[in-house]
Amino acid sequence: MSLPTSLRLPALVPRARYTTPPSPEHPEPHPRKAAPAVETFDKTARPGLYYERPRRERDLPPLQSKWPAILALGAAGVGAWAVFMVFVSNQEKLSSSVMQQIMNTLREDPALRDVLGEAIRPEPLWWMNGDPWISGAIHMPGGNVDLSFRVKGHKGAGTLYFTSIRREKGQPFEILRFKVIADDGREVNITPAKPS
């Protein structure tokens, strides 16, 4: 029984060679190398010579603890925070309404002008960046104001002391101490101006 013509297998056709065989005009680009010779051993290999590790002439320095550096940085941070809080607290006192009223009263007092002269102002300090240092506290909700600071005029300088309390809530503040002690020892009691 013969197969139909459409199902017959084609005859084997030799595969075409697309490479040019080596010739004197076209030598082989990469000549093949001969396989390396295989060497076999019938005994185990001898161990190599043992050399003792050279010893160090001196030991390495011990590792220093990091705790001193950490403690120093922590102390510096706490100190910087404390200085910043003191500066902010002083600036808050300087900008308070109590401080403004005190300075207005000092400039209008004739007895103090005779002692310190004109242009009475708080005495600046270099370590406060030109601002005065205000000692004491201003605690208005608690009814307590206690301040002292240096003042100066064109004649001289002195220290001001001011204390005022509020005995009961809702009552006005009562001035207990309001005076300036000049550097020459003279004491001037300041009379606050009565509100008009």
Per-residue pLDDT at 20 exceeds 70: no
Higher pLDDT, 196 or 120: 120
By the 10 Å C-beta count (0-12 exposed, 13-18 middle, 19+ buried), 153 is classed as: buried
Reported pTM = 0.61
Percent of the chain predicted with pLDDT > 70:
76
Which tens digit of pLDDT belongs to each residue from 37-77?
Answer: 887 777 777 766 666 776 766 776 777 788 888 899 999 99
Instruction: Report pLDDT for 178.
Output: 93
User: Using alpha carbons only, what angle is made at residue 33 by residues 32 and 37, rounded to the nearest 5 degrees?
Assistant: 145
pLDDT level of residue 196 (50, 70, 90 thresholds): very low
Write a three-state SS string for 79-117.
Answer: HHHHHHHHHHHHHHHHCCHHHHHHHHHHHHCHHHHHHHC
Report the chain's mean pLDDT, rounded to a whole number.
82
The sign of the CA dihedral 93, 95, 96, 98 is: positive
Whether 144 contacts 137, CB under 8 Å: yes
pLDDT level of residue 123 (50, 70, 90 thresholds): very high
Q: How many CA atoms lie within 13 A of 16 on its CB side?
A: 1
d(C-alpha 118, C-alpha 72), whole Å: 49
